[in-house]
Structure 1
Amino acid sequence: MRTSATLADPLPTLDGWAADRMPIRPFGPGRYLVCGAELIRTALASTTRPFEARAATFGAVADWVPGADHSRPVNAALGRELDRAWQAVQDDAIRTELTASREPWPGALAGGYLRLFGEQLFPGLPAAGHQALRDALAASDGLDRTGSALRRFRGRLAHSRADAALHRWAAGNGGALPEALRATLGASDDVALALHGLVGAVCRAASMVAAWTVLLDRGWRPGTPAGTVLRPRESPASAEHRVREALRLWPVAWQLARTVTEATELGGVDLVPGDRLYLCTYLLHRDPDVWSEPGEYRPLRWDRPPEGYKSRYLPYGFGSAACVGSRFVNQVTARVVACSGVLDDRGLLVVDPEPVFGSLLAPPVVRPVPLG
């Protein structure tokens, strides 16, 4: 199991830190892991000074600062387009996509999301452009699980082709989304980078949330070995509550980063410019003062959420720099989970049993198989 925080064995380490409940701790030169609720909210509320944010979706766009005044029209436009896209897709199409799935999850689910919503998001994009997007999304799948230089090179090449396809589309398309992006970002290459980042972030995050939810519904727990077949189980909880609980227990955005831009203090710790804060929602969501049996998958707890949960449940961040696709991911995933009954005749074979604490918290890799 790997992690971008360079922990040798992250899950036992994180669970140990959950037990001692230090709100902020150093874990390397100039690096601090933060899990105290008020400290996390304080850091997330800042997007420039004293803590700077960088959004993955727009990370390649020069001088883009999440939460800044100039970013709000873009976020609003993206939110509208994502809402329009998911509302245009019928549940029958979701069931068909799930039934056709034979490849390992979550990668196959990410490709499915792109097939379902790509036409709505990018009307008029040529078939070659859609293929470039699918290739780039497939190249991203599993990068956290491998150190292969060749695979990373192929990923960069696939992403470059996708950027080029979106550049051509954005330059010639006069629809609401590219116009809103151009008004703020200007150059078509920045529009292409933003759109590509959005597709990758939303499709990958949504696929992982859906996979986590279905795996947990079927009884997956840490330590479940490769070769196990996870079978369908009845759940009395709604799809929405199952998704919320999966995000609580295994938040895909398991850590949110901020860079210190000026000397300041947080939780009694003196920080200097260049220090990095890793705001750990994985630990925040397991606070035993709020959640009973915090390590257990209990979707019915959302029928009556515990007092004080809002400050300790931040699966998509908080404030002006919160994830622009959060509503899309939640609502689309709930629809996918509600439609997942079409898979009641299939098991999910555990192929790679370990979660990966990378840029996203990726679930174990599973493959749909017929039930004998």
Structure 2
Amino acid sequence: MKFKEKITKLVITSGYRWNYFEWFLLGFKDLEKRGIINIEYDLPVASRLLMHSNSELCSNIINHLKNVTETDTYNMEGYFVYENGDKKYFCIDSADSPFLFDESSLKRVTTYFKMQCPKNLDDDSFKLTDKVSIPWSDHAHKDLNLNLTDPGERRVIKSITPYKSKIKPLMIGPRQLAVGCGYKALKKGYDNYLNDQTYNKSKKIMCYFGNAAGPGMKKNVVKPDFDWEKDLMGYYKNNLSHPNEKRAKVAKYIEKLPSSDARIISQGNSDSNAKRNEKLIIPLKDFCKHISKFQYNMNVSGYRLSIPNRFIESFMVGTAIFTDKLSVKWYKSFDDEVRETVEMGYLPINEVDWKGFENDLRKLPESNPEKVIKTFRKKWAPEVVARYIIDTVSNS
């Protein structure tokens, strides 16, 4: 490790949506097991108990307690203590929207890790398409009485420039490693995923999408909350079409191919109670095993162009990703584990280069599962990313 001063401990001081951070917690705990760091928790009682919980029943009880006693946040925060007594503070921001930041944390911490980090922070806004840009916005609403996930106009960050040197890309873990954050539970969940690794792929490409349509449009939007897709679609109207519409069309292309599996769980809107095709649903515990059969897992960027969990869930089992053009980045560049095609996202559906996509789809080369797994171990495994976090903060 390239540290100017030796770390004596890591202190985790806040968090709430712990399933977003399980990947990093496991990495830190692996390093602790090896005597490289010591971890302490300066947290409310419920979250502190959750860090040691390996029982599903206990974790469910603790989570209920956490939900009624702690304040919701997209962030995990903490600091490293060094041998010379220095402290360096960091924040990990899990907000799905790439344009959303916590300005109070940006001002306070040494290093700000953004899990959905925009490729370009030089612009004065986040480009959803060539014609639509979203202002850099705060987690907090203009109305401070609103809770984190309530709909309501967000505060605009006047300029991201003063914070650019602090903002570092990170990555996205799987949807859930375990119930609870105890080491044994996290390690067991991780090992269960790794058990599904396979170098022999029996099929070429799959897709697994929830809905064929977006959430619809909110009417008469004057002051939108861009973190709510109904506001987003209602404000920009025909200048955008929802990614789910492209996913439905992509699935039709894929289902025509041999050795493929194309699933759209519901043909309705994503915010409706439209009937789901229960026969197509794969339980989370079996999902990576399903993915492992395929050379490629298809992605169409959604949720404000974020990268979803399907990336790491695929890499873990040796499956590559085929995706539309990405607008966010991870802390290392993608190699053969990701292949990009044309822009989709929120582009109006009639502006998508469908012929280009079909051509790229049909010409997809054979993947190299052995290389995907090797790359996963080298770049994205929990201990590797934990070391990256430590190195980045220490050298800031």
Name the TM-score, length of structure 1 as normaliser: 0.28
Q: Which has the higher strand share?
A: 2
Structure scoring higher RCO (CA < 8 A, sep ≥ 6) equals: 1
